Amino acid sequence: MSIDIDTARKVAKLARIRVEEPDLPALAGELSGILTFMEQLNEVDVTGVEPMTSVTPMRLKRRADVVTDGNIQAQILANAPDAREGFFAVPKVVE
């Protein structure tokens, strides 16, 4: 499977990473190389094998449904690039 320039553009868009047009051919080439390497997996007979979903078979623990944390607005916002009036601020989303 090789990745063409259109696919590379689409993947960059899905990943929300800006890639300039002139950089797309090189990116497509690199991604194709990696995918070719992955294609070895097609040699393996995986009939009847369940995909591994957890490393150690264990039941996820549950805890009481109670508040354990909170009232830390200032801490939450402390690292925000832009915070106003107790909220994260971003460019206009809705016209």
Partner 1 sequence: MSANELTIAAARDALRKGDLTAVDLTMACLTAMDAGDELNAFVHKTPEIALDQARAADARLKAGDAPSLCGIPLGIKDLFCTKGVPSQAASNILRGFKPEYESTVTTKLFAAGGVMLGKLNMDEFAMGSSNETSCYGNAVNPWRRGNDETALTPGGSSGGSAAAVAADLCLAATGTDTGGSIRQPAAFVGITGIKPTYGRVSRWGIAAFASSLDQAGPMTKSVRDAAILLEAMAGHDPKDSTSADLPVPDFEAMLTGDIRGKKIGIPREYRMDGMPDEIEKLWADGQAMLKDAGAEIVDISLPHTKYALPAYYVIAPAEASSNLARYDGVRYGHRAKLAQGDGITEMYEKTRAEGFGKEVQRRVMIGTYVLSAGFYDAYYNRARKVRALIKRDFEFAFAAGIDAILTPATPSSAFGLGEMASADPVEMYLNDVFTVTVNLAGLPGIAVPVGLDRKGLPLGLQLIGRPWEEGDLLNHAYVLEKAAGFVAKPEKWW
Q: Among 21, 22, 51, 84, indicate the residue that binds partner 1 (CB under 8 A).
A: 51
- Per CB under 8 A, 64 contacts partner 1: no
Nearest to 77 by CA among 69, 68, 87: 87
Q: Among 21, 22, 39, 71, indicate the residue that binds partner 1 (CB under 8 A).
A: 39
Q: How far is the CB of 21 from partner 1 (least distance, A)?
A: 13
- Output 25 or 82, the one with its CB closest to partner 1: 82
* Rg of the chain on CA atoms, in Å: 23
Q: What is the DSSP letter of 79?
A: T
- Output 22 or 61, the one with its CB closest to partner 1: 61
Nearest to 87 by CA among 66, 20, 74: 74
Structure tokens at 80: 């925000």
- Per CB under 8 A, 37 contacts partner 1: yes
Q: Which amino acid is at 50?
A: E
- Per CB under 8 A, 61 contacts partner 1: yes
- Per CB under 8 A, 42 contacts partner 1: yes
Placement of tokens 């009939």 in the chain: 47
